[in-house]
């Protein structure tokens, strides 16, 4: 697999967010594990990763073992920091203190080769609920902010996207939301990423589709997010 642009944050702009967004809330009927269930083990989490054999139509998938771990970007608006932490999860150890994490990259089998970076992390019961709740509380108020990323002053622009699972569609995990994040680092090209965050019980799934070369910025495919959430639910 060739190099990919893995994460949307300028500190990790290499070959491999956020305004209030549409959200899916289905804690009782979603496909995620019950929040009080034991977290997935490292082995279960690894087994839950999408593969080429079970990726949805139009995608292939492969694991990623390297990690740049350049650290999360920082915003001057501290209330918005949980959102940036989620967006940068693929190239960090994730927000908070996950018990285990893993990553993969999904690529389209046709059309523009814009990969989707997928991050999975298991948390102690109840911990992830608080992390996601903090991000959700920040969504309506995080529009434009400034801060630092990779040692450069950076401006962040956040834009809402529709719910990843529209009304009448099967839910994605226990809750899910999507957004666009445009980053404008000093002395570097801007980039825009679509991010979908899914909570499936005590497992976090973050999918990031980053536009560096002029493709239309959009959220990762809903089918991809749903299939990954289903894999997490089936991993136990």
Domains in the chain: how many in total?
1
Tens digit of pLDDT for each residue in 88-143?
899 888 898 899 999 999 999 998 888 999 999 999 998 999 999 989 888 888 98
Assign residue 143 the CATH number of its domain.
3.40.1000.70
Q: Is 3 part of a structural domain of the chain?
A: no
Residue 121: domain span: 10-234
Q: Is residue 5 part of a domain?
A: no
φ/ψ (deg, to 5) at 176: -155, 145
* Sequence-separated (6 or more) residues with CB below 8 Å from residue 66: none
Q: Write out pLDDT tens, residues 13-70.
A: 333 332 233 444 433 334 444 546 799 999 999 999 999 999 999 999 999 987 666 6
98 occurs within a structural domain: yes
Residue 4 lies in a domain: no
Examine residue 208 and state whether it is found in any structural domain, yes or no. yes
Say which residues have a Cβ less than 8 Å from residue 4's Cβ, sequence separation at least 6: 15, 16, 105, 115, 117
Distance CA 124, CA 120 (A): 14
Tell me the whole-structure pTM to 2 decimals.
0.84
Any domain includes 169: yes
With a CB cutoff of 8 Å and minimum separation 6, the contacts of 213 are none
Each residue of 197-215: pLDDT tens digit? 999 999 999 999 987 655 6
Please report whether residue 2 resides in a domain: no
């Amino acid at each position: 697999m060739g190099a990919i642009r893995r994460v949307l944050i300028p500190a990790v702009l290499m070959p491999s967010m956020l305004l209030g967004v549409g959200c899916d809330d289905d804690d009782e009927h979603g496909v995620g594990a019950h929040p009080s269930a034991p977290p997935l083990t490292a082995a279960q989490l690894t087994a839950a990763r999408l593969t080429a054999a079970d990726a949805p139509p139009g995608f292939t998938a492969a694991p990623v073992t390297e990690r740049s771990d350049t650290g999360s970007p920082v915003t001057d608006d501290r209330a918005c920091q949980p959102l940036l932490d989620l967006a940068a999860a693929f190239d960090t150890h994730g927000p908070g203190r996950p018990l285990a994490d893993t990553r993969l990259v999904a690529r389209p089998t046709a059309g523009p080769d814009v990969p989707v970076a997928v991050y999975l992390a298991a948390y102690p019961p109840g911990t992830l609920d608080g992390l996601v709740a903090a991000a959700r509380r920040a969504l309506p108020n995080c529009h434009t902010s400034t801060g630092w990323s990779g040692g450069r002053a950076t401006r962040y622009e956040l834009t809402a996207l529709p719910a990843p699972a529209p009304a009448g569609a099967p839910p994605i995990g226990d809750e899910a939301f999507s957004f666009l994040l445009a980053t404008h680092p000093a002395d570097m090209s801007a980039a825009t990423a679509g991010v979908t965050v899914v909570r499936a019980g005590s497992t976090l799934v973050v999918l990031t589709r980053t536009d560096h070369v002029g493709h239309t910025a959009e959220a990762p495919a809903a089918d991809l997010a749903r299939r990954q959430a289903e894999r997490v639910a089936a991993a136990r």
